[in-house]
């Protein structure tokens, strides 16, 4: 039998690789790394929340093993390995990463010191209360569903999201050609901005910044640089300085300590403490006695104990400049918007959320309207049946079976199919005992409900009123005060050299041949002056007591000038030769020192 070659195509490797990698990149961008602008979630996060909700693993029920939820998500929705699912679940439970955690977890879920969480077989989890509002009304046809990876289940393409999760909890991720870094914000401020934007669709970014002052990190801290925030909110990209919250605390004996109670977002506290302690050990700054991590269940505290005569502000400035006590945070607000990655500003993000909520409210209202109309239609049938109850009962009893009874009711009394079905479904004793007054009351309530729902669908002002009401309800239930302070200007950190260099008296020597050293007065006094480590033909051109804060200028026979701070001169015993200046600066073989001065 001849081979079927009709479906074989000849393609160049370049075309195949380009097309396949394009598909792969699109999958990475849309299905893994970047959040959706509407609900602020990546696919793995959305699948976790949906699966836990569907499984009844909600805030008002008991905790369940994390491994059970991970297995459920992996088996039904996200076939990418359990570690990525569990990592996403853990991150959504960490209150130092998310402004409003979406999952509650019992057990070790990691720490701000970057300690790993316990294995999923040990921890337990459930949805947080605010997560319930993310999924609220998902059963009312508010969002689209698509088949899962093996066509055995349906999963949502987006969650209804009663609050603006993208800006509330932020996002971070890297994909093929794109990266995103969206900071967390304050829920109260976001909702106030949404309410304002609903009433003023043409509002500018500056108008919205009356409400959204800037990011609000779960770890607090102090933001510096209002211009960076404005740029980020206008363009989606910008830079701010984020520093720790510190205070000077007096101690006994005239000492004091720097007390750090808030650190920048996503800074590893353990590494920060280690770095500051290394500065103390290496004596890169003068005056630090001890660095202690005093954090406990009550909150974060790092204590930097200082000597009695230490320059506290100078040391703090040095630590801010040389450790992660102060960092630069770069906005890169990229999200999936209209099915493609887009860098978005504040107004675009809020407007996209408003547009999405219009769609959700419209679909929910239509669902509720259809349900109310169907119920009212049934009530109409039951009221009609009660008005001719004897005839209805007689017809039912005369019928051969349920199907025949239903058809007879439709033929004789012009009941519709749903009405006849409702009548025959009721047992006769319930039909005879039904109070027509109660039915009439329900009918009137449904009439009012239908009128309200119809008005929402027909009147944009009514829809906006519903959205405002929802937003205010979320604000009342979950709003919290701002944690991060904002300062207009970026403070320039000036580090005084005296902070880094102890003021010590030393004996400085510079020789004709270019040898240089500094010794302690004790070492100098313990040895004869001529026992200075120099060769017989060499001799000092400068020998004097100086301070380590002084400056040294040296002049050579070829007219070169060499500058060296005294504290950078190699410390050596008086008997030692010291270092040759050519070790740090190139000199000619026949070039000598002819003069040296300090001040």
Residues tagged active-site: 122
Burial readout 425-436 (b: 16 or more C-beta within 10 A, e: otherwise): eeeeeebeebee
Angstrom distance (rounded) from CA 540 to CA 553: 15
CA torsion angle 366 368 370 371 (round to 10): 170
Phi, psi of 178 (to 5 degrees): -135, 150
Q: Which position has the token pair 């099915």?
A: 339
For tokens 């406990």, name the residue: 296
Whether 571 contacts 517, CB under 8 Å: yes
Q: How far apart are CA 4 and CA 9, in angstroms?
A: 12
43 CA to centre of own chain: 16
What tokens appear for 569 in the block? 């001169």
CB 186 within 8 A of CB 480: yes
Exposed, middle or buried: residue 63 (CB in 10 Å: 0-12, 13-18, 19+)?
A: middle
Output Rg (C-alpha) for the chain, integer angstroms. Answer: 37
Q: How far apart are CA 576 and CA 511, in angstroms?
A: 13
CB 480 within 8 A of CB 187: yes
Residue 507: how many other CB atoms lie within 10 Å: 20
The closest alpha carbon to 306, from 250, 243, 246, 260, belongs to: 250
How far, in Å, CA of 31 to CA of 34, rounded? 7
Q: How far is CA 351 from CA 505, 559, 568, 589, in A?
A: 66, 70, 59, 73
Q: Please tell me the distance from the alpha carbon of residue 48 to that of residue 118, in angstroms, as a whole number.
A: 19
- For residue 357, give the nearest of 582, 210, 198, 491 by alpha carbon: 198
| Residue 557 dihedral angles phi and psi, to the nearest 5° | -70, -15
């Amino acid at each position: 039998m001849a081979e079927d070659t009709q479906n074989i195509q000849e393609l160049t490797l370049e075309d195949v690789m380009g097309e396949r990698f394009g598909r792969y990149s699109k999958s990475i961008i849309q299905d893994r790394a970047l959040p959706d602008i509407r609900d602020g979630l990546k696919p793995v996060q959305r699948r976790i929340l949906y699966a836990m909700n569907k499984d009844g693993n909600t805030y008002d029920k008991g905790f369940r093993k994390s491994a059970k939820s991970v297995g459920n998500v992996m088996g039904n929705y996200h076939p990418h390995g359990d570690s990525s699912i569990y990592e996403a679940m853990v991150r959504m439970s960490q209150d130092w990463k998310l402004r409003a955690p979406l999952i509650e977890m019992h057990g070790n879920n990691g720490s701000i010191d970057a300690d790993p969480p316990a294995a999923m077989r040990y921890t337990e989890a459930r949805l947080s209360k605010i997560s319930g509002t993310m999924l609220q009304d998902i059963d009312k046809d508010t969002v689209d569903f698509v088949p899962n990876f093996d066509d055995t289940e349906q999963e949502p393409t987006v969650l209804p999201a009663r609050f603006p999760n993208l800006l509330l909890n932020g996002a971070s991720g890297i994909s093929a050609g794109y990266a995103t870094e969206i900071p967390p914000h304050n829920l109260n401020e976001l909702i106030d901005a949404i309410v304002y934007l609903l009433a003023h669709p043409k509002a500018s970014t500056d108008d919205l910044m009356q409400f959204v002052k800037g990011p609000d990190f779960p770890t607090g801290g102090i933001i510096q640089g209002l211009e960076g925030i404005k740029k980020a909110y206008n363009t989606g990209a910008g830079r701010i300085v984020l520093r720790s919250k510190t205070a000077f605390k007096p101690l006994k004996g005239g000492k004091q300590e720097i007390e750090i109670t808030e650190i920048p977002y996503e800074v590893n506290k353990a590494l920060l403490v280690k770095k500051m302690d290394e500065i103390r050990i290496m004596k890169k700054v003068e005056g630090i006695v001890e660095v202690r991590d005093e954090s406990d269940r009550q909150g974060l505290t790092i204590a930097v104990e200082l000597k009695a005569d230490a320059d506290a502000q100078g040391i703090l400035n040095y630590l801010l400049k040389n450790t992660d006590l102060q960092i630069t945070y770069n906005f890169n607000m990229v999200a999936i918007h209209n099915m493609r990655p887009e860098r978005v500003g504040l107004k675009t993000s809020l407007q996209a959320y408003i547009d999405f909520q219009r769609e959700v409210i419209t679909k929910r209202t239509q669902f509720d309207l259809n349900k109310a109309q169907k119920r009212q239609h049934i009530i109409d049938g039951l009221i009609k049946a009660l008005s001719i109850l004897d005839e209805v009962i007689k017809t039912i009893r005369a019928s051969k079976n349920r199907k025949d009874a239903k058809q007879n009711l439709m033929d004789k009394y012009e009941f519709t199919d749903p009405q006849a079905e409702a009548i025959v479904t009721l047992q006769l004793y319930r039909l005879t005992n039904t109070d027509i007054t109660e039915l009439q009351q329900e009918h009137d309530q449904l009439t009012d409900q239908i009128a309200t729902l119809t008005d929402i669908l027909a009147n944009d002002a009514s829809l906006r009123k519903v959205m405002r009401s929802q937003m205010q309800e979320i604000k009342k239930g979950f709003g919290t005060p701002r944690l991060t302070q904002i300062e207009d200007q970026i403070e320039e950190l000036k580090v005084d050299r005296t902070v880094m260099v102890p003021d010590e008296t030393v004996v400085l020597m510079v020789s004709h041949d270019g040898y240089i050293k500094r010794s302690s007065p004790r070492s100098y006094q313990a040895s004869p002056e001529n026992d200075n480590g120099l060769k017989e033909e060499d001799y000092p051109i400068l020998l004097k007591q100086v301070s380590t804060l002084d400056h040294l200028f040296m002049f050579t026979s070829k007219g070169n000038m060499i500058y060296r701070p005294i504290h950078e001169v190699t410390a050596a015993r008086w008997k030692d030769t010291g270092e040759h200046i050519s070790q740090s600066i190139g000199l000619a073989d026949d070039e000598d020192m002819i003069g040296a001065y300090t001040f």
